[in-house]
Structure 1
Amino acid sequence: MGADAVGQVALRGRDRELTVLRRALGDARDGRGGGLVVLGGPGSGRSALLAAARAEASGFTVRAARGVESERGLPHCGLLQLLPGQADPPTDPLRLGHTVHAAIAQVPAPLLCLVDDADLLDPESREALAFAARRLSALPVLVLFSATGPIDGLPGLWLDPLDREASARVVADHGVADPAPDLLDLASGNPLALTELAATGHIPPHSRLRASVRARLAGLGPGARDLVLMAALDDWLDVDTMVRAAGRSGVDLRSLEDAREAGFVRLDGDHVVAASPLLQTLLREEAPLADRRAVHALLLSVLDPVRHRLRCTWHRAALAGGAEPELAGELLESAAEFWLAGRPRRARALLRQARPLARGTSVRGIADLVQGSLEMREGTPAVASETLLVAANQLSGSQRDLAVTALMLAGEASCVAGDYVRYYAIADRARRLHRPDDSARIRLVLDHFAGMSDAYRGRHDRAAGPLRRVVGLGEMLDEPATKIWASQAAYTLGDAARAHELAVAAVTGASSRGTAALVPWALVYVALSELLLDRHSSALSNALEGLRMARAIGQPNSAVDHLTILALEAALRGDRDTTRTRLAAASHEVATRGLGRPGAFSTWASACVDLADDRPEDALDRFRLMAAGTGRVHPGVRAMATPHFVEAAARCGQQAKAAAALAPFEDWARSTGSDVRLALSHRCRALLGDADADDHFETAIGLHRSSQTALELAKTELFYAHRLRRNRKARAARELLREALKIFQRYDAPHWAERTTAELRAAGESVGGCGKTAELTPQQLQIARLVAGGATNREIAAQLVISHRTVDHHLRNIFARMGLRSRVELAARFR
């Protein structure tokens, strides 16, 4: 929630709920009234939603009542708030219900009755109001309740936790523009927790949230409280451990059902977990110290010290209370493993415990290595780079392998930040570290620095040797991180197939080892290599999976990487709306976190849309943002975008500028021998309009076909056909354009298809529009499967990061192509 321009409460992340309320108000205005219960726990925003309903109820008479704990035992108190003229209401429940219904019907219509905290109303008032609300279908009256549990016979509107984006907007409304990941994790999407954390950094003792937890906890039996604390104090509490701990302490396991019904715990597979991170934190803080220590000791006594090493370290540290400095190393090792496992919140908690105990330089270096790794994926990459460089300095004397790792991650963070002055400095430092007895892993890192820094500087002949060694070492070493670095090297060499193979191996290895934190990073190179190979369907699927996983494990920077790759995928097809939707979703994080690499992808994607829309001047203006000397840029992304820059410059008549940019790209393509990039190089040379342009176009077409890059083939055919038509070779132009049109339709590239259709007409062929193919495009197939699975249009738009209008457009085409009339028929077809 936040304050809007006129001081009213603005709701964040409640579009679905507001739509339901507006519909209910509209029905009531039209004489089809009823009752509705807004359901949610403490701090979920129930009262705010009732306030929003009041603001939407233009022309309504509004009556309001609120339940109060101290008046719960006083009959009819709630009714007297809502209908103050009711003297001596009947005591018989049926007569009372009819009396309330009649009184409501006499209030000037349309009428909105707001009943907040209905759980706290006296039972007589609550039951009478519910009785009346169930009988309003022919009256212009809406009775809107808020409660923590259902009210018999009335529909409910459950308030789910806010998603991460809406949560960030809530805290931004309260003056925190770039919230720490801890804050969003802790709040768990609870609006009240978000506002309190934004204001003070903690949940204050007098908070309604704390009071609710205290009261609910006090209402549990001793056995249920013990089981709740077990789940609150052990993130990985499995059922087997709980059973053994309960047996040792004499707790009846039937108490687990009481804990579940009270909303404290839930079963997640074979694990028992706290219902939310917020509830887990409040339970830890509200439970008495003696109870917490007893549960820590109990769990430590039943855990296997080898098989459950991380958990034992956690419980032992909690019992030590900071009195055992030798725990620092174990805590840091555990923090690193939790981070790699995709549990950054627990990693940060362990890191905070370990910091005060870290005495030696080496231990502090490991702490900075873990801190920098966390910061790179979820914080500010520039800060991460500084932290990792400090770690490398501290580790260089005692743990060289970790020092080199810290240096490598510092370089990666600098790349993400777009700070290539720092990257080159780190690479120069790495060059001086070489030793004859270096391990294969260290050789890979040092060669990676040497090759990539030369490639970024445009020295491709020098870069090729080190990068090929990196690829070879990456294939040999069985470690996900080294395979990711090797995939990047192969991609830079133009070997997209090898880059893809290495990145997929990294995903598989990280998944099998339980190092989920590396998967979104690896999927970046899976998606990029697939785009280079023109495998748009697979690139879309893998980037969406990378986005989903990055969000799930708390890596917003990785999520932005995938959002901008998704935007580029749409832009290469000329899908303006989808590109803009995805770039808008990434723009805030790009700006506030200083993400240079995603920023460069964003510029490239926007320029591609301009080119598809036949606006080369706008594209050229955008590319100026990627020019050297304009701030933090990404020379790698700038190099990859060269073919589109050349296209824009050539179409604007700036051949000299296009030729100057093309020269280093041609060197890159020749040095790597990549058919994909050689094809683009020849197409660019042809676009400059030289006398041998036809030969370059023909060569490019042959290379596109040999590399099976169909979408780029279609674009080259379109450009070549335009030249042929202008040179009065219409028949040859039409042959190319027919093939190009089919490809654009298959790739769901309507803007390119429209341009091709226009060119066909100009070449003398009668074309009745773009036409429709029988098969679904990759994006339509994804949408169809989601619809078949029961997803709403809103859910589909959120999952694929596209607009509602795009979903509607694709659904209409899906129904038309498949000869269907409804979502039910579509679901049956995919069953």
Structure 2
Amino acid sequence: MSLVGRDGELRRIAALRERALAGSGGGALLIHGAPGAGKTALLRTDAPGFLVLDAAGVGAETDLPFAALQQVLMPLAADLDRLPPAQAVVLRRALETGDDVPRFALCVAVLNLLVLAGRRQPVLVRVDDADVIDVASRDVLAFAARRVASENVVVLATATDLVAAAATGPVLPGVERLPLPGLDVAAGTELIASAGLSHEVAIELVRLCAGAPLALREVAGALSVEQARGRAPLPVEFPRGSRIRRAYDTRLRALPGGARELLLVLAADPEGLDLDTVSELAAEAVDAADPDAADAAEASGIVHVVDGRMRFRTPLVAGSVYRGVSPERRRAVHRRIADALDPVRPEHRLRRLWHLAAVEPSEPLARELADAAEEVRGRGDHAAASLASERAADLSRDGAELLLAAARDAWLAGRPHRAGVLLTRLRPAPAAVTTGGRRDLLRGQIELRAGSPAAAHETLLGASDRLAARDRTAAVVALLHAGEASFLTGNLRRYVDISLRVLALREGGEPPERELMFEYAAGMMALFRGRHTEAVRRLRNVVDLVPRTDDPTAMNWGTLAALMLGEESLALGLTERSGAVARARGQLALVPRTLELATFAQLWLGRYNGALASAQEGLRLAQEAGLDNSVAFHRSLLALFSMFQGDDDAGLRHAQAATAIAAERGLAMPHSMSSWALAHRDLSAGRAADAAGRLRAVATAGGGPGYVTGRVLTAPHFVEAAVRCGDRTGAVEATELFGRWATSTGSTAARALLARCQALTATDPDDAEDAYREAIRLHQLGDSDFEHARTELLYGRDLRRRRGPSAARTHLRSAHDTFDRLGATAWVEQSRAELRATGEAVRPVETRLEGALTAQQLTIARIVAEGATNREVAAQLYLSPRTVDHHMRNIFVKLGVRSRVELVRLLTG
């Protein structure tokens, strides 16, 4: 059975079951998590081959001793006579009368009964809601669960997160626990993909429901059409009558009065309260019989402390608590919180005003809120600034500017759905042209990262027209973003037209930041027109101006200029600076773009560990913020890295996901990078014609003159593929295209690749050898070990054919060792094949294992034999720990070994 986002947990359970089915012993797990986390679904997965014994906690039977034990053992009633007579008597008495019996004797009897049954057929005991079953049964089952590791018995149980604070004591103490957290953004959105929601809405629902599968399904199914499309605010509480609401209502009712009162206070503050304030309010909320309200609230699992603030784990639970009382009580709670906050402390001022606005709304209070929002905005707390600006707008006669500020803050905080809903409140367009232009600029920026670049292009052009006369800087920003939208879709003719519009706004004597933008537009336009000398001069000016700005977006334009100049180390340094500034200012929406550029710079530098880490972090942040276009870019890069390392399965998954988004949105770069990844796989497997075909398609894709950037990037691989399949004309044309860029930038890494291309296309063997030697010399000055090894492999292959085996071995050994160190398994195999052709001996153990293991598995096995853990192997080979775990299981099965010790002996024997 497949449960979305639960692969790791399913593997843990499957491992226990497989042990029992193989007769190697059993074990026990306690699966625990919040209501609606999917504990029961995980527990009830199919278990063929087992005798299944089920029990479930029922509130009405909690006080009936041995009620749950009777459920579990009922199918084994006929086996009671197989027990020693004294044990059978004790067990029958407990099950038939519920009377207290010698507890140890009972525990031993139950254990023996399960063991006897397990000798006939593996036994699976499943206890749902173990925190609800009667205490007597729980104690006996815990005793048995702790002792079945050597028997063919598996015990699985579930409990809510109340397990640590159950009034009747801990649940199944001593049993290994399997926590079940909420689904992450990727799994959560996949779960509700069929609900017809916009992607931003789906992501916001994952946050509101804390990733609980049951909550996600029920809330998604209750949305209106406007809510599902992101045009109306989402619910603030669970649907009335829903299962998830009933589960939390039951949980809330079980809390003492003081804890419930404190939860109401916390529900009135969307950002949570600091612990000092919580302590003060808790002291007010309690009476002599309820002295530990704060501790009880936290122990319930409904709230937790994050960054010094207590807040609800699941925002919709807070909404249910808040909406569950009268408006008068809500106002009283807001008043209490406001009175507890110190108006002198800067960190309390905005929150105090926000709560006062719920009690005594007024125009003067709106102005104070707007001022306080500006203060926290300066400290990088855009989420708080957005809430304050929205409330100030609600209290103002004309709140358009405040709503726009609230939307901008929401966007920067990584909440595009909230930003979009706030912007809908500014429709129809505000009377003020400038406000309308800045609204469209923000809409266009959001669309550029999270929606359709084509729609973003039109919106941004309109914004520029409205802003040009009153805010020239904003108008230029709008046009540059519109140009980026054209670049993303590969329409470079339109990009040039937009650049001309940017330059038409230039007046001379511009401040540094605006001058940077003008020079950037001029430089990129020259580059795409093929005027490389002018492009280098203009882009060099951009790089020189970057130190005079502290705007992350302007720094990203500087980074792009550095990349186009072939100055990857400088570009990487700029991404580090822009990323640090964006994070310090709380501008989370800008970070994924910075990480795109950082990944790209590290890719060219050959720093694959760093590039992989940047791409993985960028993917995570982009998914969490709903920035689909950035998701596509990061996935395409991860596809490329996976193919480099020979992890075809992961590479295909990333490439397919990136291509799907690219096709839907018309994105050029993710399409090009995914094609590059797939072509790399073909090339490493010897399918040169397929690789050439993919990369040739990159040059002609899109509605414009082609994906020029993608074509330049992939040219070295295309040249190799084209030469190997006999297309020398195409290879020469690609070499000339790449050469114009590489020579204009002066980049060492680019010139090394150009020399390799020239070697591959040379007609004179002496010219080819000179070019190979120049390529290796330049590689030695740079950082790209991977491309250096590929050049050595090509050179060694050429030398073996022209001058014999002895001339080739040194280069082939060097290539083999580098590929081996990097874990590039497909290329290890190619270099090994070439070494064999020279008569180079292969280690006997490897010879035996190569027939049994794939190249990837052999590489992993060798690294493990050197003492590396699975996590260390994953880091070294740029794989996920999950992928390494999967390979290790297959290695053990294929080689017939049962432990890492046996594997080491085999490999070194």
TM superposition score normalised by structure 2:
0.75
Provide the C-alpha distance between the structure 2 equivalents of 1:120 and 1:114, rounded to a whole number of angstroms.
14
State whether structure 2 residue 216 is matched by structure 1 residue 194: yes
Report if aligned partners of 1:581, 1:802 keep a CA contact under 8 Å in 2: no
Report if aligned partners of 2:262, 2:282 keep a CA contact under 8 Å in 1: no
Per-residue displacement from partner, 1:287-337 (whole Å, max 9, x unpaired)? 554444444455556332445466776665676793535444234324433
What's the secondary structure of 1:478's corresponding residue? coil
Q: How much does 1:574 deviate?
A: 6.0
Provide the C-alpha distance between the structure 2 equivalents of 1:240 and 1:394, rounded to a whole number of angstroms.
48
Match of 1:91 among 90, 98, 103: 98
Q: 1:795 to 1:731 in 2, by over 3 A?
A: closer
Could you tell me which residue of structure 1 aligns to residue 798 of structure 2?
723
State whether structure 2 residue 747 is matched by structure 1 residue 667: no
Per-residue displacement from partner, 1:711-743 (whole Å, max 9, x unpaired)? 333333333343344333665544544444444
What's the secondary structure of 1:679's corresponding residue? helix
Q: 1:630 to 1:319 in 2, by over 3 A?
A: closer
Could you tell me which residue of structure 1 aligns to residue 366 of structure 2?
none
Q: How much does 1:422 deviate?
A: 4.9
Provide the C-alpha distance between the structure 1 equivalents of 2:425 and 2:296, rounded to a whole number of angstroms.
33
What's the secondary structure of 1:627's corresponding residue? helix
What's the secondary structure of 2:97's corresponding residue? coil
Provide the C-alpha distance between the structure 1 equivalents of 2:592 and 2:276, rounded to a whole number of angstroms.
32
State whether structure 2 residue 93 is matched by structure 1 residue 18: no
Could you tell me which residue of structure 1 aligns to residue 180 of structure 2?
159
Could you tell me which residue of structure 2 aligns to residue 214 of structure 1?
249
Amino acid at match of 1:22: A
After superposition, residues 513-552 of structure 1 pair within 5 angstroms as: 513-551=585-623
Per-residue displacement from partner, 1:175-206 (whole Å, max 9, x unpaired)? 66956322333232211122223323364211
Report if aligned partners of 1:578, 1:801 keep a CA contact under 8 Å in 2: no
Could you tell me which residue of structure 1 aligns to residue 583 of structure 2?
511
What's the secondary structure of 1:17's corresponding residue? helix
Match of 2:41 among 43, 48, 54: 48
Could you tell me which residue of structure 2 aligns to residue 679 of structure 1?
752
Which runs of no fewer than 5 residues in structure 2 stay unpaired?
Answer: 78-91, 164-170, 224-234, 342-347, 351-371, 848-858, 893-899, 904-909
Q: How much does 1:486 deviate?
A: 0.7
Could you tell me which residue of structure 1 aligns to residue 281 of structure 2?
246
Could you tell me which residue of structure 2 aligns to residue 272 of structure 1?
310
Provide the C-alpha distance between the structure 2 equivalents of 1:493 and 1:387, rounded to a whole number of angstroms.
31
Q: How much does 1:559 deviate?
A: 4.0
What's the secondary structure of 2:96's corresponding residue? coil
Q: Which moved more, 1:464-473 or 1:429-438?
A: 429-438
Amino acid at match of 2:214: L
Report if aligned partners of 1:676, 1:703 keep a CA contact under 8 Å in 2: yes
What's the secondary structure of 1:266's corresponding residue? strand
Amino acid at match of 2:180: L
Q: Which moved more, 1:241-250 or 1:15-24?
A: 241-250
Match of 2:826 among 742, 751, 770: 751
Could you tell me which residue of structure 2 aligns to residue 116 of structure 1?
128
Provide the C-alpha distance between the structure 2 equivalents of 1:734 and 1:139, rounded to a whole number of angstroms.
56
Q: How much does 1:277 deviate?
A: 4.1
Report if aligned partners of 2:189, 2:203 keep a CA contact under 8 Å in 1: no
Q: 1:678 to 1:44 in 2, by over 3 A?
A: same
Could you tell me which residue of structure 2 aligns to residue 651 of structure 1?
724
Provide the C-alpha distance between the structure 2 equivalents of 1:731 and 1:10, rounded to a whole number of angstroms.
54
Per-residue displacement from partner, 1:444-500 (whole Å, max 9, x unpaired)? 223323322442454434432332222222232222221111111111122223222
Q: 1:789 to 1:219 in 2, by over 3 A?
A: farther
Report if aligned partners of 2:536, 2:745 keep a CA contact under 8 Å in 1: yes
Q: How much does 1:510 deviate?
A: 2.5
Q: Which moved more, 1:492-501 or 1:352-361?
A: 352-361
State whether structure 2 residue 349 is matched by structure 1 residue 304: yes
Could you tell me which residue of structure 2 aligns to residue 618 of structure 1?
690
What's the secondary structure of 2:5's corresponding residue? coil
Amino acid at match of 2:297: A
Per-residue displacement from partner, 1:676-712 (whole Å, max 9, x unpaired)? 3233223212212323333433433333334454433
Q: 1:496 to 1:76 in 2, by over 3 A?
A: closer
State whether structure 2 residue 714 is matched by structure 1 residue 641: yes
Same amino acid, percent of matched pairs: 36
Q: How much does 1:645 deviate?
A: 1.0
Per-residue displacement from partner, 1:211-230 (whole Å, max 9, x unpaired)? 23334444545654454355
Q: Which moved more, 1:476-485 or 1:453-462?
A: 453-462
Report if aligned partners of 2:386, 2:405 keep a CA contact under 8 Å in 1: no
Provide the C-alpha distance between the structure 2 equivalents of 1:407 and 1:146, rounded to a whole number of angstroms.
56
Provide the C-alpha distance between the structure 1 equivalents of 2:240 and 2:191, rounded to a whole number of angstroms.
21
Per-residue displacement from partner, 1:369-400 (whole Å, max 9, x unpaired)? 34443444444444444444444344344333
Q: 1:111 to 1:706 in 2, by over 3 A?
A: closer
Q: 1:117 to 1:797 in 2, by over 3 A?
A: farther
Amino acid at match of 1:264: I
Could you tell me which residue of structure 1 aligns to residue 159 of structure 2?
147
Q: Which moved more, 1:249-258 or 1:704-713?
A: 249-258
Could you tell me which residue of structure 2 aligns to residue 410 of structure 1?
482
State whether structure 2 residue 761 is matched by structure 1 residue 688: yes
Provide the C-alpha distance between the structure 1 equivalents of 2:621 and 2:68, rounded to a whole number of angstroms.
47
Q: CA RMSD in A?
A: 4.5
Provide the C-alpha distance between the structure 1 equivalents of 2:826 and 2:584, rounded to a whole number of angstroms.
42
Q: 1:189 to 1:250 in 2, by over 3 A?
A: closer
Q: 1:34 to 1:408 in 2, by over 3 A?
A: same
Provide the C-alpha distance between the structure 2 equivalents of 1:109 and 1:767, rounded to a whole number of angstroms.
48
Q: How much does 1:609 deviate?
A: 2.6
Q: 1:183 to 1:792 in 2, by over 3 A?
A: farther
Report if aligned partners of 1:322, 1:357 keep a CA contact under 8 Å in 2: no
Report if aligned partners of 1:355, 1:364 keep a CA contact under 8 Å in 2: no
TM superposition score normalised by structure 1:
0.82
What's the secondary structure of 1:606's corresponding residue? helix
Report if aligned partners of 2:56, 2:127 keep a CA contact under 8 Å in 1: yes
Provide the C-alpha distance between the structure 2 equivalents of 1:311 and 1:572, rounded to a whole number of angstroms.
40
State whether structure 2 residue 434 is matched by structure 1 residue 362: yes
Per-residue displacement from partner, 1:720-769 (whole Å, max 9, x unpaired)? 34334433366554454444444444444343344334444545665659
